[in-house]
Chains A and B, each alone.
Chain A
Amino acid sequence: MLSYITKRLLLMIPLLFGITLITFAVVHLAPGNPVEVQTEMSLKVSAQAKENLKKLYGLDKPLHVQYIDWLKRFVSLDFGKSFVDSRKVFDKIIERIPVTLTINILSLILIFIIAIPIGILSATKQYSIFDKLSTVFVFIGFSTPAFWLALLLMILFGVNMGILPISGIQSIDISEMGAFERLLDWIKHLVLPVGVSAFGGIAGLSRYCRSSMLEVIRQDYIRTARAKGLTETEVIFKHAFRNALMPIVTILGLSVPGLIGGGVIFETIFAIPGMGQLFYSSTMSRDYPTIMGILVIGAVLTLFGNLIADISYALVDPRVRNRK
């Protein structure tokens, strides 16, 4: 097992290198450089001042030297300073991660709680009315723009019924509340964002769980289990579901980039101060150090999501970890 993990970690090194290279290329090979972006607003900036700024960011050096310098600082977690407020990019990103992570973990839990029963039920009762209804739901779930769903729910629960807040993660008068009220306030603010970000995932995972179950139910060992007289519940949950779960584990890892990336839109809609919203505001103000920082961190989080998925897959399936 240990050697498997080591091997997977070593495989990540060239990928990490590639991620930094692409991030650097995206920002530096584009027409116009950060200095022009910073100075285009004020025409008074002299050529001399521009040169000084260029020196400050090391933009007067050749591209590959700039990349290596940037990479060196990056490895020591020095992401530079934001163009917008001169704060350290690293601090700006770190303070945003808890909110984004909380919402993503909550919605992942919600996805699993709802999608797996739907998937199992529609597989065991294939072609039943429930199966057909859930198939329709899956297609609608795949095709619904998350931000539109967010708008509709905001109109329904926020504007018409007035029972849920439509922006932010806490009320203005949070400091005057007791512990219980605070928790309630927090939950109220999170219901819509978590629900919206889980919606598409529920559709996807229930479909995946259904086909995985269908695959397993056809196997010989299920027929054997039935033949030796086990109850249907035992067959489904002890024998079939455990084996069907394996490919589902991988989905957990693969859904990380979608969840993080999707955050851009609904964090902006619900005014949630997470990584997605920071990324959106950085792109609007062309804050390149922050853009580069978030791009790399987003990609690294994805790699770790994949790694966790692979490791858990290897944990449940000995064939994988012993493969040469």
Chain B
Amino acid sequence: MRLLKIIGKRFSRNRLSVIGAVTVLLLITISLLAPFIAPYDPTAIDVRHTLSPPSKTHLLGTDELGRDLLSRIIWGSRVSLKVGFVAVGIAIVIGIIIGAIAGFYGGKVDAILMRFVDIMLAFPTFFLILAVISILEPNIFTIMAVIGITSWMDVARLVRAEFLSLKERDFVGAARAVGVSDTRLIFRHILPNALSPVFVAATFGVAGAILIESGLSFLGLGVQPPDPSWGNILTSGKDNIEVAWWLSLYPGLAILITVLSYNLVGEGLRDALDPRIWEAERR
């Protein structure tokens, strides 16, 4: 607990990261309360008010079917929240398992797994994702899974590096001496000590996943209309680029603010969890 307190204190020293964290909490609240906050039904078509610019009745204007843009953006925040967390969750689980096995056993197992990581990293991520989605049905679940299975490599490398150094430490030798099994050694003894870089990578990962989801939905390979997502609202922005600038500006602004907040939190966490500065603090 003392540890958490110090981390919290060190994190709050960075003003931008605190602003990021507050914004993230705010965004989560908005998406949880979407049905109560959104002024209109996000899929309600109103043919008399199509493509109307921002006004008092429609704060951010309407789209080509007369749907309220603000309501669609508020509901769209649910998509990015879900995709961000689930995709990163999948990536972390895969990354931890592969990184832990490679780092713990070393030798040939390590060499093979790390070559596998190299191979996965050689593919332009967006190509790999698009190829898989072209085969499967494009929807929110496919996207979460595909982003997850194409973005675990960084986590694997981080966890492996931690394991390589941690397994030489005395506490591991001691646990081995009393006959702790490999699985227990990996997950109960070493892993908890290897998690801090994973937290940092996960926070940046959420930002990355949200960006990828918006790109895929923009291309029509993600969340399908009429369900709103920030990416697919931008598609109608592009289709009406000559007449309705608000359809292009606001959803993108939502993406920018969200991704920026997660990145700021990630930066703050990285500094707060940096062991090099830890040592300095202790003295």
CB of B207 within 8 A of chain A?
Answer: yes
Residues of B within 8 A of A302 (CB): 121-124
Contact (Cβ within 8 A) B130 A264: yes
How far apart are A269's CB and chain B's nearest CB, in angstroms? 7
Residues of B within 8 A of A26 (CB): 128, 131-132, 135
Other-chain contact of B238, A31, A144, A269 (Cβ < 8 Å): A269
Known contacts A19-B123, A26-B135, A152-B248; A147/B215 CB under 8 A: yes
Contact (Cβ within 8 A) A284 B115: no
CB of A27 within 8 A of chain B?
Answer: yes
CB of B66 within 8 A of chain A?
Answer: no
Contact pattern, B 79-110, Cβ under 8 Å of A = 1, otherwise 0: 00000000000000000000000000000000
| Bound Cα distance from A317 to B251, whole angstroms | 47
Contact pattern, B 242-277, Cβ under 8 Å of A = 1, otherwise 0: 100100110110011001100110010000000000
Contact pattern, B 125-137, Cβ under 8 Å of A = 1, otherwise 0: 1111011111110
Contact (Cβ within 8 A) B263 A139: yes
How far apart are A126's CB and chain B's nearest CB, in angstroms? 15
Known contacts A143-B260, A279-B130; A15/B115 CB under 8 A: yes
Residues of A within 8 A of B252 (CB): 145, 148-149, 151-152
| Bound Cα distance from A44 to B260, whole angstroms | 53
Contact (Cβ within 8 A) B219 A268: yes
The contact sample of 29 A-B pairs, CB cut-off 8 A, is A15-B115, A15-B118, A15-B119, A15-B122, A18-B119, A22-B119, A31-B135, A142-B263, A143-B207, A145-B255, A148-B234, A148-B252, A148-B255, A151-B248, A152-B248, A155-B241, A155-B245, A158-B241, A257-B122, A260-B124, A261-B124, A264-B126, A264-B219, A265-B218, A280-B219, A283-B130, A286-B134, A298-B127, A302-B122
Contact surface of A with B, Cβ cutoff 8 Å: 14-15, 18-19, 22-23, 26-27, 30-32, 139-140, 142-145, 147-149, 151-152, 154-155, 158-159, 166, 257-258, 260-262, 264-265, 268-269, 279-280, 282-284, 286, 291, 294-295, 298-300, 302-303, 306
Other-chain contact of A294, B118, B122, B127, B132 (Cβ < 8 Å): B127
Residue among B126, B211, B267 having the largest count of chain A Cβ atoms under 10 Å: B126
Q: Taking chain B's interface residues, is the majority helix, strand, or loop, or is none over half, making it mixed?
A: helix
| Bound Cα distance from A152 to B207, whole angstroms | 21
Contact (Cβ within 8 A) A295 B115: no
CB of B237 within 8 A of chain A?
Answer: yes
How far apart are B179's CB and chain A's nearest CB, in angstroms? 38
Counting residue pairs across A and B whose Cβ atoms lie within 8 Å, the total is 140
Contact (Cβ within 8 A) A295 B127: yes
Known contacts A142-B263, A143-B260, A294-B127; A22/B120 CB under 8 A: yes
Residues 153-209 (chain B) with a chain A CB within 8 angstroms: 207
| Bound Cα distance from A22 to B115, whole angstroms | 13
Residues of B within 8 A of A294 (CB): 127
| Bound Cα distance from A139 to B14, whole angstroms | 15
Contact (Cβ within 8 A) B260 A154: no
| Bound Cα distance from A80 to B121, whole angstroms | 26
Residues of B within 8 A of A303 (CB): 122
Closest to B207 in A: A143
Q: Taking chain A's interface residues, is the majority helix, strand, or loop, or is none over half, making it mixed?
A: helix
Residues of A within 8 A of B249 (CB): 152
CB of B71 within 8 A of chain A?
Answer: no
Residues of B within 8 A of A306 (CB): 122
- In order of increasing CB-CB distance, the 4 nearest A-B pairs are A261-B124, A148-B252, A261-B126, A283-B134
Closest to B16 in A: A139
| Bound Cα distance from A300 to B120, whole angstroms | 12
Residues of A within 8 A of B218 (CB): 147, 265
Residues of A within 8 A of B151 (CB): none
Residues of A within 8 A of B221 (CB): 283
Contact (Cβ within 8 A) B127 A147: no
Contact surface of B with A, Cβ cutoff 8 Å: 16, 115-116, 118-128, 130-136, 207, 211, 214-215, 218-219, 221, 234, 237-238, 241-242, 245, 248-249, 251-252, 255-256, 259-260, 263-264, 267
| Bound Cα distance from A74 to B221, whole angstroms | 29
Residues of B within 8 A of A268 (CB): 219
| Bound Cα distance from A280 to B221, whole angstroms | 10
Residues of A within 8 A of B136 (CB): 30-31
Contact (Cβ within 8 A) A298 B248: no
Residues of B within 8 A of A265 (CB): 126, 215, 218-219
| Bound Cα distance from A291 to B120, whole angstroms | 16
List 8 additional contacts besides A22-B119, A300-B122; criterion CB under 8 Å. A18-B115, A145-B215, A148-B251, A262-B126, A280-B130, A280-B219, A295-B123, A298-B124
Other-chain contact of A140, B115, B121, B234, B256 (Cβ < 8 Å): B256
Other-chain contact of B127, A14, A139, A261, A269 (Cβ < 8 Å): A261
Residues of A within 8 A of B118 (CB): 15
Known contacts A22-B120, A26-B128, A145-B255; A155/B134 CB under 8 A: no
| Bound Cα distance from A280 to B214, whole angstroms | 16
Residue among A26, A147, A148, A302 having the largest count of chain B Cβ atoms under 10 Å: A148
How far apart are A301's CB and chain B's nearest CB, in angstroms? 8
Contact (Cβ within 8 A) B263 A147: no
Residues of B within 8 A of A152 (CB): 248-249, 252
Contact (Cβ within 8 A) A151 B237: yes
Residues of B within 8 A of A14 (CB): 115
Residue among B124, B238, B259 having the largest count of chain A Cβ atoms under 10 Å: B124
How far apart are B72's CB and chain A's nearest CB, in angstroms? 16
| Bound Cα distance from A293 to B41, whole angstroms | 45
